[in-house]
Chains A and B, each alone.
Chain A
Amino acid sequence: MARVRRVGKRWWVGAVGLLGLCVAAEVQPAYSQQSVAVRAALVKGSLPADDPTAAAWATASVSEFPMSPQVHWPVRITEVTAKSVKVRGLHDGTTVAIMLEYSDPSEDPDDAAALEFMVGDTKAHFAHGQPMAQVEGGPVNIWYWKNKDGKGSDLGAKGFGTLKPHSHQEVKAKGVYQGGVWKVVFSRPLNTEHGAEDTQFKLGEFGSIAFAVWDGKKMDSGQPKEKGSEKAISSWWYFRADAPADYSPYLYALLAVGLALGFEMALVRRLKKGS
């Protein structure tokens, strides 16, 4: 009988432990951080906005996104050079810098790359903010770089055939080609005075971002292999400029531990008195 009681006790302890593990496993949602977002960390000191080879880029977390040929709209293309892009981001609280890195077998004057963002809170189709049949949607802001131009361009669009440069140009870009790889850094102030045309970055909040790459290699026809709508593209992904470190959650957690401990001690004392 005594043995049965001891076994019962062990059962009880083991079952409580197992139950606790089961509940704990379900309480906290699992965070999966695959390459669905680019996070630009806050850096102290100078931002490597004009140097794609700066050592600071090695400290930035890298996300990789697959690229597809632009087949959504004529003139379409079915095979492109860039199969994926690696993306890094950094900001210094004033300016944001985003670096695209992708393979390209040859350096050509017409090689080009672009970033695309939604503008404001209105959702936009990833294909140049093309209006939907039942929903108009919003405009998109495009940051464009072409090797032979040697600079960045700030563009806007709301549907195919509406792409045009903004009257203000605040986007800078610089590309470096080394060993069959392009590294192109785009930079711009986090916020501008043109909220209706430019994407604005709110620290700590996710926005949408898409990528495009053109292989400008000259074909026998004399035309670049990829040009205009014939390009490698991605769908919308996410971008966030990180907010400064916030330690308040640790403080709240510490406070909660103290309160729980106090409640626990008061409860046990009360129970002991009662018994």
Chain B
Amino acid sequence: MGGVLIRPIILTVCIYLFLKFIVPVLPHSAPLPSSLIFLYLMLVMSGSVLFATLSGESKDAFFQPILRFLTGESGGALSSARYLVLALFPLLVGWQTYGSTASSDAPPGENRTIHPAPPGEYTGLSNPVPKTPENIMYGKGLYASRCAPCHGNFDGKGFAAAGFTPPPANFKDPTTIAMLQESYLFWRIKKGGVGLPVEGMPWKTAMPRWELEMSDEDIWKVIMGEYDGAGQKPRTWDESE
């Protein structure tokens, strides 16, 4: 009895374990949100029920064990499990009802666009400053005095960083400047946090508006110093495109 049910249950459990514990450790992956895992499990279970009820025979084979279990005809150890399920179901419903009606202690979530689109005039600009060792060194010097208090040793861990949220960018992280063009950095450094568009909420970035204190040429040199110091290269259009 129940043999028909074992396969879909094992399949569901295996998929849960895969999504929960394997996916996060895959390269370039991240932990999946609980709501997404729940959605996937629902899809798997729905698919299993659909598959198991394609014919009248398979439908009976699928539902008969469940019916026998619910009516107590299975007997044996399953009787105890039956009482457990019958007791847990109303409690689970009550728990869900409480969870959906009680006010949450969690603050509202914030949508944040990490790299909002720059204004058109900053798209595709090329760094006009020659990439010489002198210019890179000069840019690193400016970085040390202007940027390092927050961005630290290119790792976002400057001594002034603790109070800021979102935290200062970690330039060594491959998802920051390595995936951006120099023109994007030029815009972000020149206009600072207040230059972000409305989708660049939540209005918390402390990035200064450096155009008030640095020339464009110096900003381009800082960009060169940043890439060099972080061991990254700016994203460029592929020559074949």
Determine if B5 is an interface residue (Cβ-Cβ < 8 Å): yes
Query: Are A264 and B197 CB-contacts (below 8 A) given A271-B67, A271-B71?
Result: no
What residues of chain A lie closer than 8 Å to B90, measured between beta carbons? 256-258, 260-261, 264
Main secondary structure of the interface of A (DSSP, over half): mixed
A12 touching B160 in the complex, CB below 8 Å, given contacts A29-B35, A252-B101: no
A33 touches B198 (CB 8 A): no
**Chain A residues near B43 (CB, 8 Å)?**
none
Bound complex: CA A123 to CA B95 (Å): 36
Residues of A within 8 A of B150 (CB): 68, 71
B99 with A28: CB separation less than 8 A: yes
Residues of A within 8 A of B96 (CB): 27-28, 256
Residues of B within 8 A of A79 (CB): 159-160
Tell me if B164 and A235 are in contact (CB < 8 A).
Answer: yes
B163 and A234 contact, CB distance less than 8 A: yes
Q: Are A123 and B201 touching (Cβ within 8 A)?
A: yes
In the complex the two chains form, is B162's CB within 8 Å of A236's CB?
Answer: no
Spot the interface stretch: A50-58, A102-110, A241-249.
A241-249
A:1-31 near B, CB below 8 Å:
5, 8-13, 15-20, 22-31
Let me know if B1 and A9 touch, CB within 8 A: yes
Q: Which residue of B lies closest to A210 (CB)?
A: B204
A124-B71 contact given A31-B104, A133-B194, A238-B107, CB 8 Å threshold: no
- Please, what's the 1-or-0 string for A31-72, where 1 marks a CB less than 8 Å from any CB in chain B? 111001101000000000000000000000000011111011
Question: Across the interface, do A123 and B203 meet the contact criterion of CB distance under 8 Å?
Answer: yes
Knowing A9-B77, A16-B9, A264-B86, the reply to whether A30 touches B34 (Cβ < 8 A) is: yes
B73 touches A275 (CB 8 A): yes
Complex contact B2–A12 (CB within 8 A): yes
Question: Smallest Cβ distance from A148 to chain B, in angstroms?
Answer: 26
With known contacts A8-B3, A123-B201, A31–B161 Cβ distance under 8 A: no
A1 CB to closest chain B CB (Å) equals 13
With the chains together, A25 CA to B19 CA distance in Å?
Answer: 13
- Closest chain B residue to A267, Cβ basis: B70
Q: How far, in angstroms, from A250 to B193 measured CA to CA in the complex? A: 45
Kindly identify which residue among A8, A11, A126, A260 contacts B204, using a CB–CB cutoff of 8 Å.
Answer: A126
A188 to B159: give the CA distance in the assembly, Å.
35
User: Whole-angstrom distance from the CB of A236 to the nearest CB of chain B?
Assistant: 5
Indicate whether B102 reaches chain A with its CB closer than 8 angstroms.
yes
Q: Residues of A contacting B176 with CB < 8 Å?
A: none
Whether, in the assembled complex, A232 has its beta carbon less than 8 Å from a beta carbon of chain B, the answer is: yes
- Chain B contacts of A167 at CB under 8 A? none
Contact A69 B203 (CB under 8 A): no
- B206 and A235 form a contact (CB under 8 A): yes
Flag if A15 contacts B206 (CB, 8 Å): no
Q: Given the interface contacts A15-B10, A135-B198, does A125 sit within 8 Å of B94 by beta carbon? A: no
With A67-B162, A271-B67 as known contacts, state yes or no: A15 contacts B6, CB within 8 Å: yes
- A233-B163 CB under 8 A given contacts A13-B81, A72-B193, A257-B94: yes
A127→B193 CA distance, assembly (Å): 10
Bound-complex Cα distance A76 to B149 (A): 11
**Quick one: given A68-B206, A204-B103, A232-B163, are A11 and B86 in contact (CB under 8 Å)?**
no
Docked complex: B150-189 residues within 8 A CB-CB of A: 150, 159-165
Q: Report B-chain residues with C-beta under 8 Å of the C-beta of A133.
A: 191, 194-197
Extra contacts besides A126-B206, A268-B71 (6): CB < 8 Å: A19-B9, A67-B163, A83-B162, A134-B198, A249-B102, A260-B89
26 A-B pairs whose Cβ atoms sit less than 8 Å apart in the complex:
A9-B78, A11-B6, A12-B6, A13-B78, A15-B9, A22-B12, A22-B41, A25-B34, A68-B206, A73-B208, A74-B213, A83-B162, A84-B162, A126-B203, A127-B193, A132-B198, A133-B197, A137-B203, A235-B163, A238-B108, A252-B98, A253-B94, A257-B90, A257-B91, A257-B93, A257-B94
Q: Taking beta carbons and an 8 Å cutoff, which residues of A are in contact with B?
A: 5, 8-13, 15-20, 22-33, 36-37, 39, 65-69, 71-74, 76, 78-79, 83-84, 123-127, 130-135, 137, 204, 206, 232-238, 240, 243, 246, 248-250, 252-261, 264, 267-268, 271-272, 275
B residues at A contact (CB < 8 Å): 1-3, 5-6, 9-10, 12-13, 16, 34-35, 37-38, 41, 65, 67, 70-71, 73-74, 76-78, 81, 85-86, 88-99, 101-108, 149-150, 159-165, 191-198, 201-204, 206-209, 212-213
